[in-house]
C-alpha cells in the first residue's frame, strides 16, 4: 500500500486542483470583499420591495451572492480538509463562516416579508414581471414554511446565532480530526507506533485476532478518555435541534428535519419498524460469522475481518479506476466519459496524509465542478468508496449541467441512491467476472458486510437519533451514561445475542460525525433500498428504468425527493422497497451460508 508522510510527496495527478475555484488566495480575498458589499446592498431592499421588478432585483442579486459565497466557502473548507492542522486554512474557514452569518443577517428580513404577503399579491407581482417566472416555484414553496417563520427581528437574532448553534459539530470535528490521538500498537517489527485511522481500517480486518483486538482497544481509547467532552457536544447539538424545532413551531425535531424534503414521519418510522421486524437474517449472519471464525466468543473486533482467508490483494488507484469504468458501463457512454474527466482534470484528492480529514465525500459546486475527497488505501473497501463517491460526483455534475442554479442542488435524501446504485453494479461486475470460488466467497462476504454497514447500521443510528431527541423533547437528561445505555441496547437488538459486548461497544455513539447533522443517516438506508431496486432493473436490461434513472440524475431538486424516485418506479411511502431490500439481504446470507 502506498503511504505518504506529508502532502508534498503525493503525485500532482492524485491531488485535487483547487485553482479551478481560485487561482490564489488574493482572488479569494477579492470575492470576500465583493460578497461583503453585495450583502450590504441586499440590506437596502428591506422595506423597499413593493412590486415585481424590485422583487426580481432582490432575488437576482441574492442568487449571484449565493453563487460566490458557495464557491468561497467551499475553497476554505477544502483547504482545511487537506490539512486540518493548518492555521491559515482554519482562519480562512472561520472568516467564511462569519461572512455566511452576516449574509444570513442581511437577508433575514426577506422570509418574514414574503410570508406577510397574501398569495394573490405575490401572484400579482409575478404576473407583472416575466423574469420572476424563474423564481416562481421557489417563492410558492416558501409558503409551506408560513407557520414556521418568525418575525423579522426574531429571524435576525436567529441568523446571528447561526455560528454558535453550529459550534457543537465544529468542536467535535476538531476533536475528531485534528486533536485526537489514538493509542499505541506494535507494528510488524515489534516497535510501538501510534495508530492512525488508515492503519485501523486495515488492522480491524487483519487475520491475526490479537492484532485486531489491539487495534480495536487503541482506536476506542481516546473516545473513552474524552467521553464527557464528546457527550457534552452531542447533548448540546441535540438540545439545539429540539429548541430550534420548538421556536419554529414544529411538532418535533424529527418533523422539522423531514419538512424540507416533504417526507412524512411515517417513512422514517416505517423504515425502523420494518427493519426491526426483519432482523433474523442479520442475526443468522452473526451466527455464521462466529462459526466460520471458530471462536468461543464473538467480539466487535471480529465483525469486520473477512471470513474467507488468503484472497485479499492490493488494488492500486489506477487499477481501481479501470475496474470502475467496466463495472459502471451499463450506465452508458456519457456516464463513463464524466468519470474519465474526474480523473484527468483532477477533481479527486486521493491519498491519506497526516492531518487530512478522515473518510470520504463529494462536494458539488455549481458553475465549477464536483470535488471528491478520498483516503485511498489500495484495497477492496477503497474501490467501493471510489465508486460510491463518484456516484455522488456524477449526480452533482449532471444536475449542474441540466438544471438552473435554483434547482441544481439535489436533496441529501436522493443523494445516496446514486452512490449505492454504483456499489450494486460494482459487486455484480466483480462476481460475474470472477471464477475462483474462494474469491467469489470473499466478494459475497464483502458485499454482505457493506449491506450491513450501509443499511442495518444506519437504521440503528437513525433509531438512536430518534430516541435521544425524544428524550430531550421530554426534558430528560442526556449524558454519557444515557448515550451508552441507549447505544448498547440497540447494538444488542440489531446484532443478536451471539456477540459478546466489550466495554468499548457502548461508546460507539461517540465517534459518529453524522449525529451532528440531525436525522441524516436514515437516508443511507432509504437510498440503499431504492438503489437495490434500480440496479436490479438496470442489470436486467430494463431500458425504461435506465432512461428514467439517468433523468433522475439530471433532475437536481426540480421536484420533491419522493416524487423524483416515484418517476423511476420506487415508492418509499409503501413498505415494499424496504421489504424488498431486506429480502435481498436474506438471499445473500442464504447463498453465503451454502458456500
Q: What is the pLDDT of residues 498-554, one digit of tens each?
A: 999 999 999 999 999 999 999 999 998 999 999 998 998 999 999 999 999 999 999
**What are the distances in angstroms from CA 413 to CA 6, 217, 267, 404?**
36, 35, 12, 20
Q: How many structural domains compose the chain?
A: 3
Q: Which three cell numbers stand for residue 135?
A: 423564481
Residue with cell 447533548: 235
Domain containing 37 — which CATH number? 1.20.140.70
Which of 123, 138, 165 is the C-terminal boundary of a domain? 165
Q: What is the per-residue pLDDT for 1?
A: 63
**What are the distances in angstroms from CA 53 to CA 106, 107, 197, 368?**
20, 18, 55, 29
**What are the distances in angstroms from CA 28 to CA 76, 101, 104, 560?**
9, 18, 20, 34
**Integer Cα distance of 476 and 479 in angstroms:** 10
Same domain as 156, residue 35: yes
**What is the DSSP track for 316-370?**
-HHHHHHHHHHHTGGG-HHHHHHHHHHHHTT-EEEE--TTPPPS-EEEE-TTS-E
Residue 360: which of 370, 349, 369 has the closest Cα? 349
Collapsing DSSP states into helix, strand and coil, what is residue 234? helix
**What are the distances in angstroms from CA 359 to CA 197, 209, 349, 391?**
9, 25, 12, 16
Query: What is the residue-level pLDDT of the chain in tens, covering all 595 positions?
Result: 677 888 999 999 999 999 999 999 999 999 999 999 999 999 999 999 999 999 999 999 999 999 999 999 999 999 999 999 999 999 999 999 999 999 999 999 998 899 889 889 999 999 999 999 999 999 999 888 888 988 888 888 888 888 888 899 999 999 998 889 999 999 888 888 999 988 998 899 888 999 999 999 999 999 999 999 999 999 999 999 999 999 999 999 999 999 999 999 999 999 999 999 999 999 999 999 999 999 999 999 999 998 987 776 889 999 999 999 999 999 999 999 999 999 999 999 999 999 999 889 999 999 999 999 999 999 888 999 999 999 999 999 999 999 999 999 999 889 989 999 999 999 999 989 988 888 888 899 988 998 999 899 999 999 999 999 999 999 999 999 999 999 999 999 999 999 999 999 999 999 999 999 999 999 989 999 999 989 989 999 999 999 999 999 999 999 999 999 999 999 999 988 999 899 989 999 998 888 7
Same domain as 270, residue 156: no
Q: What is the per-residue pLDDT for 162?
A: 83
- Per-residue burial over 35-54, b if 16 or more Cβ lie within 10 Å, else e, is beebbeebeebeeebeebee
Residue 363 within any structural domain of the chain: no
Same domain as 58, residue 120: yes
Give residue 45's domain range: 7-165
Same domain as 137, residue 20: yes
Same domain as 92, residue 142: yes
Same domain as 256, residue 116: no
Q: What is the per-residue pLDDT for 177?
A: 85
Which of 137, 165, 193 is the C-terminal boundary of a domain? 165
**Integer Cα distance of 308 and 180 in angstroms:** 33
Same domain as 107, residue 17: yes
Q: Which three cell numbers stand for residue 356?
A: 487530512
Residue 486 within any structural domain of the chain: yes
Contact of 211 with 253, CB cutoff 8 Å: no
Q: Which helix (H) or strand (E) holds 376?
A: strand 370-376
Residue 87 within any structural domain of the chain: yes
**Integer Cα distance of 377 and 351 in angstroms:** 8
Residue 571 within any structural domain of the chain: yes
Q: What is the per-residue pLDDT for 202?
A: 86
Same domain as 556, residue 444: yes
**What is the DSSP track for 459-470?**
HHHHHHHHHHHH
Same domain as 190, residue 154: no
Domain containing 471 — which CATH number? 1.10.1370.20
**Cβ neighbours, 10 Å, residue 266:** 11
**Integer Cα distance of 372 and 365 in angstroms:** 11
Same domain as 196, residue 50: no
Candidates 14, 205, 214, 389; catalytic one? 389
Residue with cell 487495534: 215
Contact of 275 with 577, CB cutoff 8 Å: no
Same domain as 255, residue 214: no
DSSP secondary-structure letter at 410?
Answer: P
Residue with cell 486495515: 202
Contact of 400 with 366, CB cutoff 8 Å: yes
DSSP secondary-structure letter at 456?
Answer: I
In sequence order, what are the residues at sequence separation of 6 or more whose Cβ sits closer than 8 angstroms to the Cβ of residue 299? 213, 216, 499, 500, 502
**Integer Cα distance of 131 and 123 in angstroms:** 13
Residue 354 within any structural domain of the chain: no
Residue 428 within any structural domain of the chain: yes
Q: What is the per-residue pLDDT for 251?
A: 97
Same domain as 286, residue 191: no
Beta bridge partners of 87: none
Q: Is 389 a catalytic residue?
A: yes
DSSP secondary-structure letter at 44?
Answer: T
Residue 413 within any structural domain of the chain: no
Residue 355 within any structural domain of the chain: no
**Cβ neighbours, 10 Å, residue 13:** 13
DSSP secondary-structure letter at 298?
Answer: B
**Integer Cα distance of 560 and 523 in angstroms:** 14
**Integer Cα distance of 418 and 399 in angstroms:** 12
Domain containing 215 — which CATH number? 1.10.287.830
Collapsing DSSP states into helix, strand and coil, what is residue 15? coil
The stretches of 83-166 forming alpha helices (DSSP H) are 87-107, 110-116, 119-128, 133-142, 152-160, 162-165
Q: What is the per-residue pLDDT for 76?
A: 97
Amino acid at each position: 500500500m502506498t503511504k505518504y508522510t506529508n502532502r508534498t510527496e503525493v503525485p500532482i495527478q492524485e491531488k485535487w486542483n483547487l485553482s479551478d475555484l481560485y487561482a490564489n488566495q488574493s482572488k479569494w480575498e477579492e470575492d470576500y470583499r465583493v460578497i461583503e458589499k453585495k450583502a450590504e446592498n441586499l440590506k437596502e431592499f428591506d422595506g423597499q420591495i413593493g412590486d415585481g421588478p424590485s422583487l426580481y432585483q432582490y432575488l437576482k442579486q441574492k442568487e449571484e451572492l449565493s453563487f460566490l459565497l458557495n464557491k468561497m466557502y467551499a475553497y476554505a473548507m477544502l483547504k482545511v480538509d487537506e490539512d486540518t492542522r493548518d492555521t491559515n486554512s482554519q482562519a480562512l474557514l472561520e472568516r467564511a463562516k462569519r461572512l455566511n452569518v452576516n449574509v444570513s443577517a442581511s437577508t433575514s428580513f426577506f422570509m418574514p416579508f414574503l410570508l406577510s404577503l397574501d398569495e394573490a399579491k405575490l401572484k400579482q407581482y409575478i404576473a407583472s414581471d416575466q423574469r420572476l417566472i424563474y423564481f416562481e416555484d421557489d417563492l410558492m414553496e416558501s409558503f409551506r414554511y408560513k407557520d414556521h417563520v418568525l418575525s423579522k427581528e426574531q429571524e435576525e437574532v436567529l441568523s446571528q446565532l447561526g455560528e454558535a448553534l453550529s459550534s457543537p459539530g465544529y468542536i467535535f470535528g476538531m476533536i475528531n480530526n485534528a486533536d485526537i490521538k489514538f493509542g499505541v500498537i506494535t507494528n510488524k517489527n515489534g516497535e510501538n507506533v501510534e495508530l492512525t485511522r488508515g492503519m485501523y481500517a486495515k488492522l480491524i480486518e487483519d487475520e491475526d485476532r490479537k492484532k485486531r483486538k489491539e487495534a480495536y482497544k487503541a482506536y476506542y481509547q481516546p473516545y473513552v478518555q474524552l467521553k464527557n467532552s464528546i457527550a457534552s457536544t452531542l447533548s448540546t447539538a441535540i438540545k439545539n435541534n429540539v429548541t430550534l424545532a420548538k421556536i419554529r413551531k414544529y411538532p418535533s425535531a424529527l418533523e422539522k428535519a423531514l419538512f424540507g424534503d416533504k417526507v412524512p414521519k411515517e417513512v422514517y418510522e416505517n423504515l425502523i419498524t420494518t427493519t426491526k421486524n426483519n432482523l433474523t437474517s442479520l442475526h443468522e449472519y452473526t451466527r455464521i460469522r462466529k462459526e466460520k471464525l471458530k471462536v468461543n466468543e464473538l467480539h466487535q473486533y471480529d465483525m469486520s475481518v473477512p471470513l474467507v482467508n488468503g484472497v485479499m490483494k492490493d488494488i492500486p488507484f489506477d487499477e481501481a479506476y479501470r475496474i470502475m469504468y467496466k463495472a459502471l458501463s451499463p450506465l452508458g457512454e456519457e456516464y463513463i466519459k464524466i468519470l474519465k474527466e474526474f480523473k484527468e482534470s483532477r477533481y479527486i484528492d486521493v491519498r491519506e496524509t497526516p492531518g487530512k480529514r478522515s473518510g470520504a465525500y463529494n462536494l458539488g459546486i455549481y458553475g465549477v465542478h464536483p470535488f471528491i475527497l478520498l483516503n485511498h488505501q489500495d484495497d477492496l473497501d477503497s474501490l467501493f468508496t471510489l465508486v460510491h463517491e463518484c456516484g455522488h460526483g456524477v449526480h452533482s455534475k449532471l444536475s449542474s449541467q441540466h438544471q438552473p442554479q435554483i434547482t441544481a442542488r439535489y436533496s441529501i435524501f436522493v443523494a445516496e441512491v446514486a452512490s449505492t446504485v454504483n456499489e450494486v453494479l460494482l459487486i455484480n461486475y466483480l462476481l460475474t467476472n470472477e471464477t475462483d470460488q474462494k474469491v467469489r466467497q470473499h466478494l459475497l462476504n464483502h458485499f454482505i458486510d457493506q449491506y450491513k454497514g450501509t443499511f442495518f447500521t444506519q437504521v440503528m443510528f437513525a433509531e438512536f437519533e430518534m430516541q435521544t431527541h425524544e428524550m430531550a423533547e421530554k426534558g430528560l437528561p442526556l449524558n454519557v451514561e444515557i448515550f451508552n445505555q441507549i447505544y448498547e441496547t440497540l447494538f444488542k437488538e440489531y446484532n443478536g445475542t451471539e456477540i459478546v459486548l466489550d466495554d468499548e461497544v457502548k461508546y460507539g455513539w461517540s465517534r459518529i460525525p453524522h449525529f451532528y447533522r440531525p436525522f441524516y443517516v436514515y437516508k443511507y438506508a432509504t437510498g440503499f433500498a431504492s438503489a437495490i431496486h434500480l440496479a436490479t432493473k438496470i442489470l436486467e436490461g430494463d431500458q425504461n428504468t435506465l432512461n428514467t434513472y439517468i433523468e433522475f440524475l439530471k433532475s437536481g431538486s426540480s421536484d420533491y425527493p419522493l416524487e423524483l424516485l416515484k418517476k423511476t418506479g420506487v415508492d418509499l411511502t409503501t413498505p415494499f422497497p424496504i421489504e424488498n431490500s431486506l429480502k435481498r439481504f436474506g438471499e445473500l446470507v442464504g447463498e453465503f451460508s451454502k458456500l
